Structure 1
């Protein structure tokens, strides 16, 4: 019968213990200095080397060359206490799980006062020490507190908090830890070379993950795989089948479907998981692990080279592409949903239904109102132009969904010119109001790649789509500034530099730092980012002056306010000759807006209904209908 790998490759010296240098180095130094304590407490997860280290410590203490950190390996004590040795009569191992009662403790206390038969020290290794009852610890308390010079206790436990405090305070406590994946993988590769076994590189991450940081558990899994390997060695497909883990191809299909919001592919992958005989709970757990790796890869692009995640070269490139396409906000929300659903899956009678509900929540961020879902929706707007406002506006669906999508990726939204209403004392204004029409809704699956110019346009398109929300937020902040900037249009977007166009008379006032600062704050609160704003004057048309005419009534039936009802303006100084020679009527009208805006600011400082007056007068100057104020 072949010896199990975890027994065959058990550590014989402190230098052979892997992943516990924070424990082995101080112990070796204490042995070198001869500072030996009468009681030790080794704690940590299972399979990390607690009992093996206790045996090595006993071997180092009783070596003929000792106490020494490097046992000679040739004396009688070293041979007896070797990993596969018969054991020593002076080193007694007790399993507290079956010998933790008060009677066992009393029997140990009676025999402990006898001197060792051959070796220097009499060592008691009490494994699973947390299983000793309170009465048993009380029976040992006096012996542990004041033992004979030749007596040493080594307690090993996975739950040190359950060891009696009075016992724990009399020991030197060394906490063991889980073995890092990189260290454990190197150890497994070394063992496979020693065993002359052929193992595919993709198998080692599966073994490390199955072992969960335990050297003993990982070696047990590897031993099973080696036992069932064929002439070709341990293959990835064979390892997936034996360990019951999810095939990476299924995880790739699921993440790719989530990246584009393809519900048919998502539920098709779930059906493949069930048809292949995989446990939906295990698939959900493996999906959560994959999402964790994608989050780490999005935050640290070189996570593979740094050892934060363990994937082969082609698989690492595939994960990097998935993390870029999904986005960090979506990944975090997906991981949170998967974690919550895994908790709900415990004891469920229909794990497939829970898995399908998990995916349904991932695919429907619009149905949730939490901050994670809102952030994902905003990220989707920025990344994939998920603009569905055209459906509410009644825009007819295009006959060919592919060509309009490409056109939407390469060009900004179309603009339709509508003439402004005629004023009561002037000709129809030469300025036209640019109304934004949303582009057709994109198909669920976006194109694989876009040129740089197209990507810049798509940034521009998203900002135009969100601009009405920016104006609403500005109105809540300041109605006067909202009335002033209501005619502002986006000219272009270069990175985070936004160029705005405003009527010639308003451009100079809007460009003032105090006004741009308010607009910049509102833009950052709605769209996020560090935006820079520039304002230019909109080009004016050459329209011939016409005789004044009565204003058309407003939509609600009320007439527009007459020019005569405006507040009296102070006398104006004579214009320079250069300004009088300008033939364009809009220039004079726009210039009048400047002075009327000064009047509004004076009215605002003096109190009263400044906001209502400002909005009404400013809109009437631009030839627009008055707007109701809240």
Structure 2
């Protein structure tokens, strides 16, 4: 007994002992109970799944003295002869068709088949590897298989039923055998190890099942090899992986953790250990693909182990759950696709190590690809809060949040002279802007020329976006300067929404400019972002007239549409009067240059319809001292829709016909094209 192979010592003797083939054994047992046994059977299926064993069991059931019965007695002569280690029966003939598949062999079989059995009920021919019989041999057997004598039964066993000619196959009952499920096979191997009284590590059985690939005979042979080489401590996991050539689970854990952390040094270190350890790179890639498959299923089905979808020990299952959480489904799917493609490319490769390193590089660098899988992988990393880069991006992402909070709570909030660069909207005047006293020496406050530095706020986004790095909580520190200009503002603008709006404000103004120039001029010269939180944008205007003009002139809808296009979302806009903001300081600043010649052209239509601009030069000088008082409240009749104003005047005038919402506005035409300074504009209902 001890000299027999393991698969021979534990070969089933009844249909009840056959595992994983209930779809075949149950109908056969029922046919035996009903005494409706056919004269010819065809058993097909992969190797080692029980075809020949089931044929022998069927022969025992037919020739048992108490039969035909689904459960042989095991005591009669026929049952003893056909037992696991019995001598065999003269009435049950097994033929290997690989060496007896010719015409002469078929003729000899046909001549002997007509003789009755010697001591049993039936004469049974078991023809193994039936697909090896030649077409001529099958034709020679056709007549006897089609109309055999009553004492004759045929059982054909083959792995390729399609090679059995149709005339033979149509005269048999075909039973297809299948590979044994891994769970069933693992439990069966555990029972065999217990009966052998040799301790086996629980992590070894899945490796044996994997090596057997669903074949009971192959799995039993592998298990027999491991049991034969077991030491005092039995069969260990290290021994099994070394003997079977599988990759150690520690290597797989290391490379998967490296993929999750984006650590290229660790990943390529594992590749070096694989090569230096003498492992087959193709086997390593195969095992890695198997691990990624298990992680992908575990990420999609958290209780996959309980449902039998994956077959791993409990301790390994906990590690795999952590790995599945570190790698998102999109990244796992992309990594599995890349590993599968790389495994195909490794066939016949002259440098397997190079192919393995390329696979790791592709998995580690999703930003190097522009396909949908790479984008979803990067989004997975962003959602999980993991830096996409291996080691460079992580420190950058960690340093940015540390740098951003520093400028937010500066103690200089109470000192307004420091924030001259704060005007974010587009009012970036010279440093002497805080002093409002020089207003008398400035004939008109030039708000229009300063819009030229409007692109200045676009510089603050210094976020260094690496190809694989996605900005997380890090925000640039530039908006903090604008917050320092106002003492009460930091509490309202500390949220991330405020930073986003401040960074995008120049782009918002550009969008507004494309929609309506009047609104753009109003916002760029008189408005400033106070805060943004929860979908509410708060704007501060330098004067009440500018705020009323924004609220009553339809500019709010234009700004809301521009915010939706540039920043996204639906916004509600709140306006306040903020004379101390950057807009007011920009208005009080003296203009850097003067253009007296074009100015009378603007004053002429304001005072009289005379078309000649030259005679109106004295009027400009007469009205120059007016800006000094700068009365805040405008006249009551003109309150409905005053445009952006710098100083108020008592001189009524008609609306400028050049001021158009869609074309070049009159205000901008005068300021930008003629170089003049607008003192006052009025709109009448």
For normalisation by structure 1, the TM-score amounts to 0.71
Match of 2:193 in 1: 192
Matches within 5 A, 1:503-522: 509=557
Distance 1:65 1:615 in 2: 107
Distance 1:489 1:146 in 2: 99
Aligned pair 1:419/2:424, yes or no?
A: yes
Alignment CA distance shift 1:209-1:408 (3 Å): farther
Match of 1:437 in 2: 461
Match of 2:10 in 1: 9
Match of 2:367 in 1: 366
Structure 2 contact 519–555 (Cα < 8 Å) conserved: no
Structure 1 contact 43–173 (Cα < 8 Å) conserved: yes
Match of 2:573 in 1: 537
Deviations 1:77-126 (A, max 9, x none): 11111122111111111112222222222222222222222212221111
SS of 2:41 mapped into structure 1: strand
C-alpha displacement of 1:131: 1.8
Distance 1:376 1:613 in 2: 45
Distance 1:492 1:201 in 2: 59
C-alpha displacement of 1:146: 2.1
Distance 2:12 2:530 in 1: 71
Larger CA deviation: 149-158 vs 359-368: 359-368
Distance 2:97 2:663 in 1: 84
Match of 1:526 in 2: none
Structure 1 contact 502–535 (Cα < 8 Å) conserved: no
C-alpha displacement of 1:435: 8.1
C-alpha displacement of 1:349: 2.9
Distance 2:126 2:340 in 1: 40
Distance 2:162 2:373 in 1: 38
Matches within 5 A, 1:42-53: 42-53=43-54
Match of 1:383 in 2: 384
SS of 1:342 mapped into structure 2: helix
Match of 1:252 in 2: 253
Distance 1:94 1:260 in 2: 60
C-alpha displacement of 1:44: 1.4
Distance 2:366 2:356 in 1: 17
Matches within 5 A, 1:438-457: 439=463
C-alpha displacement of 1:183: 0.8
Structure 1 contact 261–444 (Cα < 8 Å) conserved: no
Alignment CA distance shift 1:413-1:614 (3 Å): farther
C-alpha displacement of 1:543: 3.0
Alignment CA distance shift 1:37-1:501 (3 Å): farther
C-alpha displacement of 1:237: 1.2
For normalisation by structure 2, the TM-score amounts to 0.66
Match of 1:274 in 2: 275
Structure 1 contact 501–507 (Cα < 8 Å) conserved: no
Alignment CA distance shift 1:407-1:60 (3 Å): farther
Distance 1:183 1:501 in 2: 64
Q: Please, which of 404, 407, 410 is the counterpart of residue 399 of structure 2?
A: 404
Structure 1 contact 261–363 (Cα < 8 Å) conserved: yes
Structure 1 contact 426–547 (Cα < 8 Å) conserved: no
Structure 2 contact 381–388 (Cα < 8 Å) conserved: no
Structure 2 contact 64–73 (Cα < 8 Å) conserved: yes
SS of 2:220 mapped into structure 1: helix
Matches within 5 A, 1:11-410: 11-384=12-385, 386=387, 401=396, 404=399, 407=402
Structure 1 contact 134–164 (Cα < 8 Å) conserved: yes
Distance 2:319 2:64 in 1: 54
SS of 2:65 mapped into structure 1: coil
Alignment CA distance shift 1:80-1:440 (3 Å): same
Larger CA deviation: 346-355 vs 540-549: 540-549
SS of 1:304 mapped into structure 2: coil
Alignment CA distance shift 1:316-1:410 (3 Å): farther
Larger CA deviation: 93-102 vs 262-271: 93-102
Alignment CA distance shift 1:280-1:542 (3 Å): same
Deviations 1:433-459 (A, max 9, x none): 89873656699999xxxxxxxxxxxx9
C-alpha displacement of 1:519: 7.0
Distance 2:216 2:372 in 1: 41
Deviations 1:344-402 (A, max 9, x none): 222333222221222222223233333322322333343346589xx9xxxxx99x758
After superposition, the CA RMSD in angstroms is 4.9
Distance 1:519 1:419 in 2: 20
Stretches of structure 2 lacking an aligned partner (at least 5 in a row) = 410-420, 428-444, 471-494, 540-549, 594-601, 603-632, 645-659, 673-685
C-alpha displacement of 1:551: 14
Alignment CA distance shift 1:87-1:540 (3 Å): farther
C-alpha displacement of 1:245: 0.9
C-alpha displacement of 1:231: 0.9
Match of 2:615 in 1: none
Alignment CA distance shift 1:93-1:616 (3 Å): farther
Alignment CA distance shift 1:226-1:509 (3 Å): same
C-alpha displacement of 1:52: 0.8
Alignment CA distance shift 1:549-1:169 (3 Å): farther
Structure 1 contact 425–549 (Cα < 8 Å) conserved: no
Alignment CA distance shift 1:345-1:403 (3 Å): closer
C-alpha displacement of 1:273: 0.8
C-alpha displacement of 1:223: 0.8
Distance 1:68 1:421 in 2: 98
SS of 2:260 mapped into structure 1: helix
Task: Number of aligned residue pairs: give it.
Answer: 531
Alignment CA distance shift 1:81-1:586 (3 Å): farther
Stretches of structure 1 lacking an aligned partner (at least 5 in a row) = 392-396, 447-458, 524-532, 553-561, 563-578, 591-611, 625-630
Alignment CA distance shift 1:88-1:499 (3 Å): farther
SS of 1:306 mapped into structure 2: coil
